[in-house]
Structure 1
């Protein structure tokens, strides 16, 4: 986050003094709120002389800052003009980094001193170690917004875990994400933030389902540790009945309601902890459950989705080549390509996106000296980049 801020602040020639009082963008309000939460948590543990617990909150905060706020805000900094939203983003990020530096200074004194020297504004002490430890500004806390982002991040983390588990690359667009939640408040939050979830998980649409049964089928087995002692020789027969239990009864158990079965004239009441319930994804879906929330990805790829995935891989490859050649982030380039016909079709369909994302002025199909191999979907291609002078 610090490197990102310095890079783009220098490009835009931005100088900042303080965080905006009431930023319009919810991402700014959220990260400012999380900053005060972090300061409060770290300060409390330091007051308790628990150094190990004090480290956790600011390490977690760095993850939120880098992998959520910066990722979600990048395009705000990339805009060519210095509009109010962009300036508020700079002021917010500067304020957050400065307070993080003050909070982390007892733990990493030398790094924070170097960062402080570059971030400090008029009126601040000469050294970070001459500053008071920050106190949390409770007026900055927005508990409702923190809850919203926590809920959204939970859904996104589950979706990314599914991608990883089933080898579905993050850069490959998918047709849909399906969501089921038993919590009306959670559903309202997810629905409000569906565009953000859609972009984060790289899916074309987010679909809300009423029942988990639309996504998965349930299987049930006896919990032998619980039932074995009470059923004894009847355990085998009981297991057969339990495994044939209807989906309605399985759902009742999942909701915490006991279910009775009849065995040799004997009524046996099954509690939720007396069975083991297994979820099996329905065909063409990859699903996961955590508490009240179930998410499922549709992994079926159309030709259009495959081509878009190829372009996203190509963009990543070109960006890596730019870094390897030490191009500045503002340098314009030209691109030469050599690859299969499928890649040509993909470039033709998404050329404007490719040019915009890589700051390329043109793409030419030719074999040229200095081209390097880049993976585009399942097929390699050769890519060359040259800075426009």
Structure 2
């Protein structure tokens, strides 16, 4: 074995070639070998007897120990000394380590850790194998040991005078070369498969026989990715080959992924049933969901992970569905209001300005991290933006969009279009569909696919834009505290309240306060440096934000809350009747004192919100399609 051989080297023992490829003893060099032609295991008995006769046996007993075997046919294996071909790694280790400095490794610790240590500790690379299937070594040898190394099919045909039909065994073995009255036959060895894998960068385009300019222009490659086990395998052998042949690293950037285990931490196995069939995943949740899940996982920075169906589905529910709903919302009201991209208008509405700045920030962070090959860090801003777009911008702009406000529709169109171009490398399928639908609103000649577009130009938000981002985040934090109080006191958002006081020393303009009023359904927001305390005033602090909310509900506020409940009920009736946006109805409200009050005070508002031509009182609440 390997340990015995190494010990023999240290003690200057001769390394003897004792058995052939069939495991049978070879003839002796000096004298006759009494075990010649005998299978090595059958010889155990006779060797033991001879040692006893010669009084050389120290001890003879049977012990249980591990033994190598072929896992497919359970055949015992033995290591044997044989002549092999090697690449002298010791002579180029300094170069290998120097070229490693040119590579950007993800995760970073692999660069001077596993990869560099692998180089330092590597023995010479045995590139020959004694088997039938593999790429034959291109070495022809005469009986006196003279060798010819063939560099091309053309050279072999010229030297042999024969047409090369197939480069594999046994056909290539039939070709001989006659030169200077000597006959050269191909050596029987084949190449280690990693020799071919390491040749990928140039072999894949048939360099140097073809594509010389293409290869030299694009080598070393910009990027390569494989799982962490390839650090000492494929990545290593490519590095050896490129350093040996071109004095260059083979690639500039590499992501070495971790290993995905099943949901029970064991390896994925059909027998264990610990993972979902990939075909079912693609069918039921889609390729974009799977991409988001994997690309945001620790796998992309070399860490291991367990497969998690719940987290996978969360990507669809929390990211892709809200994004798609935002696009659908735009398309519904762009079509119902006959909006076209030729009607685009710039807007100074603070929400419109904010979402454009927010998109610029998200795409800038995405592209910066992608350039550094920090994939999970790149995914995060895209996911956060989808949430901001749906759960803040569209929700807070709902009325303007549904009423056909040109500036709101223009903003949402521009944002969705730019986002589809910027996020296409991450979520290619949904962005393609959004792009395709948006182009139906465009009068320009659109490209066939979002993936044919140039990547949008993005930049880091300016100081002025950062002020907008900061203030909008402040608004959202205040709203979060206010909603928390509502939830604790069972006050639904449909119920208007009168006043909220916010402990805040900095200014928030009226445009921000109006958003806050709408979000919390509160009549007045008062910024103050000193909070009041009184009956019906509830104080709460979260995220360094302190507010006091007046939870007293007057009769007038009660009626407004009832108005919102009523309009929600009517919208549900429209939905159940299958009515589309813009289809008109006649509305009948059940005759009650409250509904009479509603009609007296809010009839015009109700008509506008529920697309009603007329409103009357009757025995029950119902709608009639016009």
Query: TM-score w.r.t. structure 1 length?
Result: 0.69
Aligned to 1:118: 437
Asked if the contact 2:360/2:461 (under 8 Å) is kept, the reply is: no
Aligned to 1:127: 449
TM superposition shift of 1:292: 4.3
Matched, 1:61 2:385: yes
Aligned to 2:394: 70
Aligned to 1:235: none
Alpha carbons of structure 1 residues 193 and 109: separation in structure 2 relative to 1, 3 Å:
closer
Asked if the contact 1:284/1:298 (under 8 Å) is kept, the reply is: yes
Alpha carbons of structure 1 residues 365 and 158: separation in structure 2 relative to 1, 3 Å:
same
Q: Deviations over 1:89-143 (max 9, x none)?
A: 3322111001211233233322221111122354553212233433314588722
Asked if the contact 1:336/1:384 (under 8 Å) is kept, the reply is: yes
Q: Give the secondary-structure state (helix, strand or coil) at the position aligned to 2:408.
A: helix
Matched, 1:16 2:306: no
TM superposition shift of 1:173: 0.6
Asked if the contact 1:152/1:190 (under 8 Å) is kept, the reply is: no
TM superposition shift of 1:39: 0.3
Alpha carbons of structure 1 residues 341 and 324: separation in structure 2 relative to 1, 3 Å:
same
Aligned to 1:189: 508
Pairs within 5 Å for 1:1-389 = 1-16=326-341, 23-79=347-403, 86-120=405-439, 122=444, 124-138=446-460, 142-181=465-504, 184-185=505-506, 188-189=507-508, 193-212=512-531, 214-215=532-533, 283-338=535-590, 340-367=592-619, 382-388=620-626
Q: Deviations over 1:296-351 (max 9, x none)?
A: 22111111111111110010111122122221211121112226433433443322
Q: Give the secondary-structure state (helix, strand or coil) at the position aligned to 2:491.
A: coil
TM superposition shift of 1:53: 2.7
**Residues in 1 aligned to 2:368 and 2:590: alpha-carbon distance in whole angstroms:** 59
TM superposition shift of 1:79: 4.1
Alpha carbons of structure 1 residues 50 and 19: separation in structure 2 relative to 1, 3 Å:
farther
Q: Deviations over 1:216-245 (max 9, x none)?
A: xxxxxxxxxxxxxxxxxxxxxxxxxxxxxx
Asked if the contact 1:30/1:145 (under 8 Å) is kept, the reply is: yes
TM superposition shift of 1:283: 3.5
**Residues in 2 aligned to 1:342 and 1:327: alpha-carbon distance in whole angstroms:** 27
Asked if the contact 1:39/1:135 (under 8 Å) is kept, the reply is: no
Alpha carbons of structure 1 residues 42 and 18: separation in structure 2 relative to 1, 3 Å:
farther
Alpha carbons of structure 1 residues 18 and 204: separation in structure 2 relative to 1, 3 Å:
closer
Asked if the contact 2:359/2:385 (under 8 Å) is kept, the reply is: yes
**Residues in 1 aligned to 2:499 and 2:328: alpha-carbon distance in whole angstroms:** 35
Name the Cα RMSD after superposition.
2.5
Which structure has greater helix proportion? 1
TM superposition shift of 1:171: 0.4
Aligned residues: 297
**Residues in 2 aligned to 1:119 and 1:126: alpha-carbon distance in whole angstroms:** 12
Of 294-303 and 310-319, deviating more is: 294-303
Alpha carbons of structure 1 residues 10 and 366: separation in structure 2 relative to 1, 3 Å:
same
**Residues in 2 aligned to 1:287 and 1:190: alpha-carbon distance in whole angstroms:** 23
Instruction: Please tell me whether Structure 1 or Structure 2 has the larger radius of gyration of its CA atoms.
Output: 2
Alpha carbons of structure 1 residues 89 and 194: separation in structure 2 relative to 1, 3 Å:
closer
TM superposition shift of 1:155: 1.2
Query: TM-score w.r.t. structure 2 length?
Result: 0.44
**Residues in 2 aligned to 1:54 and 1:72: alpha-carbon distance in whole angstroms:** 27
Asked if the contact 1:334/1:386 (under 8 Å) is kept, the reply is: yes
**Residues in 1 aligned to 2:410 and 2:583: alpha-carbon distance in whole angstroms:** 25
Asked if the contact 2:418/2:456 (under 8 Å) is kept, the reply is: yes
**Residues in 1 aligned to 2:425 and 2:452: alpha-carbon distance in whole angstroms:** 12
Alpha carbons of structure 1 residues 78 and 190: separation in structure 2 relative to 1, 3 Å:
same
Q: Give the secondary-structure state (helix, strand or coil) at the position aligned to 2:508.
A: helix
**Residues in 1 aligned to 2:561 and 2:347: alpha-carbon distance in whole angstroms:** 35
Q: Give the secondary-structure state (helix, strand or coil) at the position aligned to 1:3.
A: helix
Asked if the contact 2:591/2:618 (under 8 Å) is kept, the reply is: no
**Residues in 1 aligned to 2:451 and 2:432: alpha-carbon distance in whole angstroms:** 8
Alpha carbons of structure 1 residues 104 and 165: separation in structure 2 relative to 1, 3 Å:
farther
**Residues in 1 aligned to 2:386 and 2:343: alpha-carbon distance in whole angstroms:** 20
Q: Give the secondary-structure state (helix, strand or coil) at the position aligned to 1:175.
A: strand
**Residues in 1 aligned to 2:344 and 2:587: alpha-carbon distance in whole angstroms:** 40
TM superposition shift of 1:192: 6.0
Q: Which structure's relative contact order is higher, taking Cα pairs within 8 Å and 6+ residues apart? A: 1
**Residues in 1 aligned to 2:484 and 2:336: alpha-carbon distance in whole angstroms:** 36
Structure 1 gaps, min length 5: 81-85, 216-281, 368-381
Aligned to 1:277: none
TM superposition shift of 1:31: 1.3
**Residues in 1 aligned to 2:516 and 2:581: alpha-carbon distance in whole angstroms:** 27
Asked if the contact 1:307/1:343 (under 8 Å) is kept, the reply is: no
